Amino acid sequence: MKSMSPVHRLPDQLRNHKYRFYLAHNKIPVQPSWNSTTNYRYDELELASWHGNYGLVCGIGGIIVLDFDNMELYEKVVSQLPPTFTVQSASRKLPHMYYVLEGPMMKKDSIHDSTGKTLLDVQADRSGVIGAGSRIGLDEYTVMKDIPIATILHDTLRSVFGIMPKMPGERQSFPENKEVEARTRCILAYCNIKPTTHSLYQCPFHAMHGNGNLNIMEGSGHLWCFHENRRWNPINFMYAVAHHRADDKLHYVASIIQQELRSAK
């Protein structure tokens, strides 16, 4: 008996006219402009008659997929994320968590470990993810959690992963934010907190996990450890580091900067 094509096993959660699908061979889209014009609703003939793999165009209909490349990270964060429809990848058996993003759509984003290895891709605006039922050789993308697609907030992505979601077409940062960011980075230098990447630092209050856990929040310039979910304004952070290290000199510098800021206001 001939088995059903991957498209015919499209999960009910994705049978929604809001979503768009593309035709794929293994993981590769087979048509140009697959993420803009050459994609289909689940009930369109082009898709229904396709016997190969298929993918979901993320971003359309507000959908994003947390595409884990590391099982440890998934196990660590899954309890902090809303339970949602999840697909297991074919070859490496890693989870793809599907969400509807509340608020404006973001650009695709990633987090990496200290060696640059990808731990997670957030498949978002116009990126693709291969759907359940598709096959790579003998291995198949299977439904891991057959539950409705949950919604997720930008704030949740920020707090769990330290990702600062960027909107499509958004500038990296505005000039006024750059000054705030520069001041915070300067304070981190005073504290001798080492940068681990261009956007992350090693949190001084615990052992380093992954690629560093301390992030500068865009706009406010506040510091945020997404491992412990703690936030500080830069001066309070300086005081906390001084207290943690019993560093009186640093404490004094913090108090001077605080006075300067107060008098500037």
Partner 1 sequence: MTQPKDAGSQAESYFESILAKKNVMFERRVTIDYFINGIIPVEVKSCSLLKNKGNPDVAQLKYGNFQLNQEQHDSVLKENGWYCFLITYDDQSLLVGFLKANTLKRLTYSIREIALLKPVSLKEFTQQLGMSMGGQQ
A 10 A CB-CB count for 3 gives 9
Q: Which is nearer to partner 1, 80 or 192 (CB)?
A: 192
- Residue 255 CB, shortest distance to partner 1, in Å, is 11
Q: Is 251 left (phi over 0), alpha (psi -120 to 50) or beta?
A: alpha
Phi first, then psi: what are they for 25, rounded to 5°?
Answer: -115, 120
Q: Which is nearer to partner 1, 244 or 252 (CB)?
A: 252
Instruction: Please choose, out of 75-83, 85-93, 141-149, 183-191, the segment that lies near partner 1 by the rule CB under 8 A.
Output: 183-191
Q: Which of 2, 25, 171, 198 binds partner 1 (CB under 8 A)?
A: 198
Residue whose C-alpha is closest to residue 81's, from 179, 145, 156:
156
Do 136 and 91 touch, CB atoms closer than 8 A? yes
- Encoded tokens for 194: 């080492």
Q: Residues binding partner 1: what is the number (CB under 8 A)?
A: 24
Of residues 139 through 178, those in contact with partner 1 by CB under 8 A are 178
- Encoded tokens for 77: 């964060």
- Encoded tokens for 222: 């506040």
239 binds partner 1 (CB under 8 A): no
- Looking up tokens 């509807």, which residue turns up? 100
Which residues, 6 or more positions from 61, have their beta carbon under 8 angstroms from its beta carbon?
16, 18, 19, 20, 100
**DSSP E strand stretches across the chain:** 21-25, 28-29, 53-57, 63-68, 86-88, 95-102, 109-112, 118-123, 128-130, 135-136, 139-140, 142-145, 150-153, 200-201, 214-216, 223-225, 230-232
Q: Which of 51, 189, 229, 243 binds partner 1 (CB under 8 A)?
A: 189
190 binds partner 1 (CB under 8 A): yes
251 binds partner 1 (CB under 8 A): no
- Residue 190 CB, shortest distance to partner 1, in Å, is 4
Q: Which is nearer to partner 1, 154 or 166 (CB)?
A: 166
- Residue 193 CB, shortest distance to partner 1, in Å, is 10
71 binds partner 1 (CB under 8 A): no
Contact string (CB under 8 A) for partner 1, positions 98-117, x = contact: ------------------x-
- Residue 218 CB, shortest distance to partner 1, in Å, is 14
Instruction: Please choose, out of 51-59, 79-87, 118-126, 179-187, the segment that lies near partner 1 by the rule CB under 8 A.
Output: 179-187
Q: Which is nearer to partner 1, 47 or 241 (CB)?
A: 241
Interacting residues with partner 1 (CB under 8 A): 116, 178-179, 181-183, 185-186, 189-192, 194-198, 249-250, 252-253, 256, 260, 263
